[in-house]
């Protein structure tokens, strides 16, 4: 039996790791393949901001799904102290007596092997698999191979093919800039975004693809329009455009759900509901949507609140909350109700005046249908009206029609 072992911090595991394993597996035809995440790598400390072991283990398992036959061993995570390769090989040899253990390693590790803890044990208990064609280092690799064979009787497989040169360090630097996804499997990237590991922020194309999958097809245009409007409003009022876009992309993510489905999410996320909530089931989507987006995409608190209040509004809204509320109301695909043009103009002239007008229009629309308005909206409109009075700003004039046709 031949067993291929590939250890590392996997912080995070990326496609370069998987392609290396696949290349080695194609050449060596192992019976088993193990990825072995390190607990405490002895050759270099884990950098600040490294996720907990449970996250590195989860990401490694997700990465292994892209390599058929690849498994993950917790032999180093289960062991206390530094993750010495010699100890790992002893344990794997105990588990698989008589098997040939082949340890896959990069060029730097191969060239520095004699500085490792108990190199003689490593070379006694395992064969080594090393890529032989790393640009500019072929001569060093050949010389080291000859040296180890002569001194230790080492068994070294020199693999053809060019390893992927991207590093986990480079990927960690890209993730907060909404980049780096091309080096990660979809499962690993989704885990990173869900838990916002490494300070990651989602790439917008990926976020749109994932969020749109939960929408009715006819709602996609509205969400696209809301994102475009939110970006424009954010630029006008000095808000973070990326935050505004992220909130807009997910703001209607649970909109299509039925009342029973909404209530199921309320129960799941411990969202308190009463008879008024159930009577206004269309408003539940803002609350369930914020919680669902937090679970799925790890949206931070300020984006969570912008989604949470985008339908009813609330007293004392933040600037981002106002922007998402208004973008949802005035996005380019909206039409068919009076006051829209006045609201669009006000949104770029005075955010508070626009909020008061939008809330007033919403209340008038609800009352025109003989329905009882939502309490949060009533309080919000009164709060913004008082704020305008304190500033000496007159509310935007608008006469409500007898019947309104707009729906949010």
CATH number of the CATH domain containing 366: 1.10.3210.10
**149 and 249 belong to one structural domain:** no
Q: For a pLDDT cut of 70, what percent of the chain falls above it? A: 95
Please say if the pLDDT value at position 372 is more than 90.
no
Please say if the pLDDT value at position 252 is more than 90.
yes
**34 and 97 belong to one structural domain:** yes
Indicate whether 361 belongs to any domain.
yes
**162 and 213 belong to one structural domain:** no
Q: Which of 128, 153, 186 is the last residue of a domain?
A: 186
**152 and 55 belong to one structural domain:** yes
C-alpha 401/C-alpha 399 separation (Å) is 6
Confidence of residue 164 (pLDDT cuts 50, 70, 90): confident
Indicate whether 103 belongs to any domain.
yes
- How much is the average pLDDT of 341-351? 96
Indicate whether 95 belongs to any domain.
yes
Q: What is the pLDDT of residues 71-110, one digit of tens each?
A: 999 999 998 888 899 999 999 999 999 999 999 998 888 9
Indicate whether 286 belongs to any domain.
yes
Please say if the pLDDT value at position 403 is more than 60.
no
Instruction: Report CA 203 to chain centroid distance, whole Å.
Output: 8
**119 and 31 belong to one structural domain:** yes
**9 and 67 belong to one structural domain:** yes
Place of tokens 């800039």: 177
What pLDDT score was predicted for residue 196?
98
Indicate whether 166 belongs to any domain.
yes
C-alpha 356/C-alpha 362 separation (Å) is 10
Indicate whether 276 belongs to any domain.
yes
Please say if the pLDDT value at position 348 is more than 50.
yes
**259 and 384 belong to one structural domain:** yes
Indicate whether 401 belongs to any domain.
no
C-alpha 340/C-alpha 396 separation (Å) is 12
CA-CA distances (angstroms) from residue 169 to 37, 165, 220? 16, 11, 36
Confidence of residue 405 (pLDDT cuts 50, 70, 90): very low
Q: Domain with 172 in it: what CATH number?
A: 3.40.50.620
CA-CA distances (angstroms) from residue 306 to 50, 236, 250, 376? 29, 17, 10, 14
Confidence of residue 132 (pLDDT cuts 50, 70, 90): confident
Confidence of residue 133 (pLDDT cuts 50, 70, 90): low
Q: What is the pLDDT of residues 253-290, one digit of tens each?
A: 999 999 999 999 999 999 987 777 666 667 899 999 99
- Domain count along the chain: 2
What pLDDT score was predicted for residue 114?
94
Q: For a pLDDT cut of 90, what percent of the chain falls above it? A: 79
The answer to whether the peptide bond before residue 12 is cis (omega within 30 degrees of 0) is yes
Tokens, residue 180 = 């780096």
Taking the complete model, does pTM exceed 0.85, yes or no? Answer: yes
The answer to whether 234 and 321 have CB atoms below 8 angstroms apart is no
C-alpha 128/C-alpha 113 separation (Å) is 11
Instruction: Report CA 248 to chain centroid distance, whole Å.
Output: 16
Q: What is the mean pLDDT of the chain?
A: 92
Q: Which of 186, 221, 240 is the last residue of a domain?
A: 186
**225 and 140 belong to one structural domain:** no
Tokens, residue 99 = 């098997």
**107 and 62 belong to one structural domain:** yes
- Segment among 67-71, 171-175, 317-321, 387-391 with least mean pLDDT: 67-71
Q: What is the pLDDT of residues 185-235, one digit of tens each?
A: 999 999 999 999 999 999 999 999 999 999 999 999 999 999 999 999 999
CA-CA distances (angstroms) from residue 324 to 10, 229, 249, 250? 38, 9, 10, 11
C-alpha 253/C-alpha 209 separation (Å) is 12
Please say if the pLDDT value at position 170 is more than 50.
yes
**306 and 375 belong to one structural domain:** yes
Output the CA angle 407-217-222, nearest 5 degrees. Answer: 40
**94 and 224 belong to one structural domain:** no
**222 and 139 belong to one structural domain:** no
Indicate whether 66 belongs to any domain.
yes
**Domain residues for 340?**
209-391
């Amino acid at each position: 039996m031949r067993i291929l072992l590939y250890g590392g911090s996997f912080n995070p595991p990326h496609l370069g790791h998987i392609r290396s394993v696949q290349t080695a597996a194609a050449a060596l035809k192992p019976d088993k393949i193990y990825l072995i995440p390190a607990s405490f790598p002895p050759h270099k400390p884990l950098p600040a901001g490294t996720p907990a072991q449970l996250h590195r283990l989860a990401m490694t398992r997700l990465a292994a799904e892209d390599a058929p036959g690849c498994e993950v061993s917790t032999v180093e995570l289960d062991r206390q102290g530094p993750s010495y390769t010699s100890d790992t090989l002893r344990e794997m040899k105990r588990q698989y007596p008589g098997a040939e253990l082949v340890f896959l390693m990069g060029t730097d590790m191969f060239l520095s092997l004699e500085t490792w803890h108990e190199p003689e044990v490593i070379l006694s208990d395992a064969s080594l698999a090393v890529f032989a064609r790393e640009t500019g280092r072929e001569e060093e690799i050949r010389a080291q191979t000859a040296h180890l064979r002569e001194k230790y009787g080492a068994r070294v497989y020199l693999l053809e093919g060019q390893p992927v040169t991207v590093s986990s360090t480079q990927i960690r630097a890209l993730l907060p800039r909404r980049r780096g996804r091309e080096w990660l499997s979809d499962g690993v990237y989704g885990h990173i975004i869900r838990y916002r590991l490494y300070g990651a922020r989602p790439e917008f194309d990926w976020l749109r693809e994932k969020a749109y999958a939960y929408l009715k097809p006819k709602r996609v245009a509205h969400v696209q329009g809301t994102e475009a409007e939110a970006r424009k409003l954010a630029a006008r009022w000095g808000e973070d455009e990326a935050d505004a876009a992220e909130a807009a992309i997910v703001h209607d993510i649970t909109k299509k759900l039925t009342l029973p489905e909404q209530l199921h999410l309320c129960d799941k996320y411990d969202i308190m509901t009463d008879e008024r909530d159930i009577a206004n089931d269309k408003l539940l989507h803002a609350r369930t949507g914020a919680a669902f987006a937090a679970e799925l995409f790890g949206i931070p608190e300020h984006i969570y609140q912008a989604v949470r209040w985008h339908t009813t509004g609330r007293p004392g809204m933040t600037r981002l909350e106002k922007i998402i509320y208004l973008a949802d109301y005035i996005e380019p695909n909206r039409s068919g109700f009076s006051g829209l043009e006045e609201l669009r103009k006000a949104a770029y002239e005075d955010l508070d005046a626009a909020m008061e007008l939008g809330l007033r229009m919403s209340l008038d629309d609800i009352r025109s249908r003989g329905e009882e308005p939502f309490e949060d909206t009533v309080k919000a409109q009164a709060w913004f009206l008082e704020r305008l009075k304190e500033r000496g700003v007159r509310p935007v004039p608008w006469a409500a029609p007898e019947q309104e046709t707009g729906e949010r």
